[in-house]
Amino acid sequence: MKRFTVRKRVDAYANYVATVVAPDEDTAADIASDHEYLFEWDFEGLSEFDDRHFVTIENDGTEIDSSSTR
C-alpha cells in the first residue's frame, strides 16, 4: 500500500487577553471592542471547533482538492 500525508484542518479562534479597567464586565467588553488598539493583547492559546477538514497533500505541500472531505 502507498503512504499519503493527510492534513487535518480544524476551525479555531486565536485567543488574546488584555487587562481592561471598567465598572462591570459588560462595560469592560464594550471598551475592549471599541478601543482594542489601546490595549496590549497577550496570546493565550487556541480554541478549536467541531468543524474538521481533511485533505491529502503532495510532497511539495500542495493540497489535492479531489481528496478533500469533511
Q: What is the pLDDT of residues 19-66, one digit of tens each?
A: 999 998 988 999 999 999 999 999 999 888 877 878 888 888 888 877
Report how far residue 29's alpha carbon sits from residue 35's, in angstroms, rounded to the nearest whole number: 10
What pLDDT sits at residue 19?
Answer: 92
pLDDT at 67 > cutoff 80:
no
What is the domain range of residue 39?
A: 5-67
The domain tally of the chain equals 1
Predicted TM-score (pTM) of the model is: 0.60
Report how far residue 38's alpha carbon sits from residue 25's, in angstroms, rounded to the nearest whole number: 18
